[in-house]
Amino acid sequence: MQDTTQGGIYWVVPKLQQEVHAGALGFTKTLYFYVWARSDDEAKTLMEAYLNGEGLALDRLQQKPCLAINQNLKTYYFPEQIIGLPEELIEPDLLPSAFKDKVLAESRKRRDKLEKGKLALRAELALLPL
């Protein structure tokens, strides 16, 4: 198990304001994510930012974010799909190959959406009256 003092894997279940098509789930407002964070509050904030970066709006969380039972990153088939997971935690277990390039590209794409969402949320907060 890795050192989780810098973060851990949280299970986050957001309910969206709008319905989306989510693969095997079909049309739904409820999604399921893993988020790399230092606390449940940070997991919620990162989830909201990621959804914002996707052009989606959070209605509420179905439950309070909680640490995933499994904290061993090596056992996750798609660690690049964990929102906010630092690339340096994904890369060491990948051998140089086209697969590694694809995994890291997907990780960067998700990180870009997260950063876009963070910027949008900061802009919204700046416009709120005090």
Counting the structural domains of the chain, the total is 1
| Residue span of the structural domain in which 95 resides | 8-127
Q: Decide if 3 is inside a domain.
A: no
More reliable by pLDDT, 122 or 60: 60
Distance CA 34, CA 82 (A): 5
Q: Which residues of 50-88 are buried (b: 16+ CB within 10 A; e: fewer)?
A: bbbbbebebeebeeebeebeeeebeebeebbebbbbeee
Residue 2 domain-assigned (yes or no): no
**Structure pTM?**
0.81
- Could you report the per-residue pLDDT of 60-95, keeping only the tens digit for each? 999 999 999 999 988 888 899 999 999 888 888 777
Please state, in angstroms and as integers, the Cα–Cα distance from residue 108 to each residue in 27, 57, 84, 87, 90, following that order: 26, 22, 10, 8, 11
pLDDT for 93 equals 75
In a domain, 33, yes or no: yes
Q: Is 50 among the domain residues?
A: yes
| CB atoms near residue 10 (< 10 Å) | 26
